[in-house]
């Protein structure tokens, strides 16, 4: 099968990064000038800002190359660039507000959700540095907001279909209140008054409201964007599944078992379980086409409105000679391999020794064989995740007995 490219050309990505980089630095330099900074200070601050923004975009490029973005963020980098530029405008605007009134918790979480944890931390630190430099705030303010931002990112580092946000939201708000209160008590030189705590309290309220709005938007645009489509096409009685069952019952039951493991493993590893489960159901979709070409398969996917993440997984999996970079693709490879091997051995068991099958040995052999092909050499799956996946397969001995 010939792989049909859907990624943007590299020159477009480079142009986007350069444009946003220049606009970010230019905007910062303009604010330095308007604030009346001396030339040498303005130049030094601008150079420092340029280095910080440069680090953000270098890391972005590295994560893009290694496919290390969360959710569907890797397919929508222009969305991150837009959020970054809006965030830098906010961070510049924060310099005109009282230092205890900066809603940086919101910006930290925003940037992390639409990229990944590491890039969110780096981006947040750069933006926080911008506000501190422009406002002349003390290092203590930088540290306090950094602590609150790190806690916020950690609290929302894993959002899945369960979407439990109550405790993360509460902990993040309490941490922000704690850091701002500590800042007032420890670093306020004048006599403590109740008025000093009004702005920090308003900051916590505003940041919490902004986080609630952000999470509402994020759930609608990312987490549950394709929920209805996934629910429809992963129904075992869906049209395509019925066609597959009529064509080959053995393939039909094999994909059901493969999809089960795709879903279970991805949920344990915090991956896109819906997309991987869908790819598990339809990795044998080629048997429904006349020539089994990728163009025919892609046409079926579009006709039935498959979500793009599921199409990308099928694209990586079905095209021979393609380097499999996504973790979900690796999960599909091993799930299909384990299920196919066990079903094959059960089917060709002529001596009634199915109960004596050494499942651990079968799983080890499948992993060794799949890794030796070299197709997963560039995959972003870690050794720890690989080990976790292998253990999940080995925990399912009762499930394999059900296949007899």
**Residue 274: both structure tokens together:** 């819906």
Q: Are residues 262 and 169 in the same domain?
A: no
Q: Are residues 330 and 217 in the same domain?
A: no
- R_g of the chain, CA atoms, integer Å: 26
The predicted pLDDT at position 214 comes to: 95
Q: Is 279 exposed, middle or buried (0-12, 13-18, 19+ CB in 10 A)?
A: buried
d(CA 21, CA 24): 5
**Does some domain include residue 390?**
yes
The predicted pLDDT at position 338 comes to: 96
CA distances from 101 to 207, 270, 343 (A): 10, 34, 62
Given 190, 223, 256, the domain boundary residue is 223
Residues with pLDDT less than 50, the chain: 1-6
Q: Are residues 258 and 212 in the same domain?
A: no
Given 204, 223, 242, the domain boundary residue is 223
**Does some domain include residue 4?**
no
The predicted pLDDT at position 4 comes to: 41
Asked if 115 contacts 53 with a C-beta cutoff of 8 angstroms, the reply is no
Which residues does 98 contact at the CB level (< 8 Å), separation at least 6? 199
Q: Are residues 272 and 292 in the same domain?
A: yes
Q: Are residues 132 and 278 in the same domain?
A: no
**Residue 356: both structure tokens together:** 């004596």
Q: What is the pLDDT of residues 5-27, one digit of tens each?
A: 445 567 788 888 899 999 999 99
Q: Are residues 216 and 247 in the same domain?
A: no
CA 275 to chain centre: 13
CA distances from 56 to 91, 142, 311 (A): 15, 18, 29
**Does some domain include residue 300?**
yes
Q: Are residues 133 and 242 in the same domain?
A: no
The predicted pLDDT at position 299 comes to: 93
The predicted pLDDT at position 9 comes to: 62
**Does some domain include residue 96?**
yes
End-to-end CA gap in the chain: 34
Q: Are residues 239 and 149 in the same domain?
A: no
Backbone conformation region of residue 163, classed left if phi is above 0, alpha if psi is from -120 to 50, else beta: left
Q: Are residues 261 and 330 in the same domain?
A: yes
**Residue 17: both structure tokens together:** 């990064």
Q: Which domain holds residue 376?
A: 227-402
Q: How many domains does the chain have?
A: 2
The predicted pLDDT at position 29 comes to: 94
The predicted pLDDT at position 291 comes to: 75
Q: Are residues 179 and 299 in the same domain?
A: no
d(CA 242, CA 253): 11
**Does some domain include residue 157?**
yes
Q: Are residues 310 and 188 in the same domain?
A: no
With CA atoms as reference, report the closest residue to 181 among 165, 197, 170.
Answer: 197
With CA atoms as reference, report the closest residue to 105 among 89, 116, 121.
Answer: 121
**Does some domain include residue 2?**
no
**Does some domain include residue 1?**
no
With CA atoms as reference, report the closest residue to 379 among 308, 338, 329, 342.
Answer: 329
Q: What is the pLDDT of residues 310-339, one digit of tens each?
A: 999 999 999 876 778 889 999 999 999 999
**Does some domain include residue 3?**
no
The predicted pLDDT at position 188 comes to: 60
Q: Are residues 200 and 270 in the same domain?
A: no
Given 223, 242, 266, the domain boundary residue is 223
């Amino acid at each position: 099968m010939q792989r049909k490219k859907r990624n943007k050309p590299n020159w477009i990505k480079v142009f986007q990064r350069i444009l946003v980089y220049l606009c970010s630095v230019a905007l910062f330099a303009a604010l330095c000038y308007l604030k009346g900074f001396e030339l040498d200070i303005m130049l030094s601050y601008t150079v420092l800002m340029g280095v910080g923004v440069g680090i953000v975009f270098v890391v972005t490029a590295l994560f893009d190359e290694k496919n290390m973005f969360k959710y569907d963020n890797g397919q929508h980098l222009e969305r991150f660039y837009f959020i970054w530029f809006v965030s830098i405008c906010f961070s510049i605007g924060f310099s005109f507000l009282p230092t205890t009134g900066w809603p940086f918790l919101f910006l930290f979480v925003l940037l992390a959700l639409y990229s990944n944890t590491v890039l969110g931390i780096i981006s947040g630190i750069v933006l926080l540095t911008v506000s501190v430099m422009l406002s002349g705030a003390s290092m203590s303010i930088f540290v306090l907001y950094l602590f609150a931002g790190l806690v916020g990112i950690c609290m929302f580092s894993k959002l899945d279909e369960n979407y439990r946000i109550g405790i993360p939201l509460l902990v993040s708000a309490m941490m922000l209140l704690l850091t701002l209160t500590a800042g007032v008590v420890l670093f306020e030189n004048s006599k403590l008054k109740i008025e000093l705590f009004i702005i920090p309290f308003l900051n916590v309220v505003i940041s919490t409201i902004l986080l609630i709005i952000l999470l509402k938007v994020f759930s609608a645009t990312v987490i549950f964007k394709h929920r209805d489509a996934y629910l429809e096409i992963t129904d075992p009685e869906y049209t395509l599944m019925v066609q597959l069952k009529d064509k080959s019952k053995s393939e039909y039951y094999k994909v059901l078992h493969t999809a089960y493991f795709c879903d279970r493993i991805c949920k344990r590893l915090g991956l896109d379980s819906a997309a991987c489960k869908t790819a598990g159901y339809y990795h044998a979709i080629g048997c429904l086409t006349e020539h089994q070409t990728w163009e025919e398969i892609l046409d079926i996917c579009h006709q039935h409105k498959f979500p793009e993440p599921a199409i990308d997984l099928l694209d990586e999996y079905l095209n021979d000679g393609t380097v499999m970079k996504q973790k979900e693709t690796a999960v599909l490879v091993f799930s299909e391999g384990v299920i196919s091997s066990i079903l094959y051995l059960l089917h060709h068991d002529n001596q009634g020794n199915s109960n004596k099958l050494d499942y651990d040995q079968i799983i080890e052999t499948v992993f060794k064989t799949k890794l030796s092909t070299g197709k997963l050499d560039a995959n972003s799956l870690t050794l720890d995740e690989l080990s976790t996946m292998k253990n999940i397969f080995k925990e399912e001995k009762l499930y394999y007995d059900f296949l007899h």
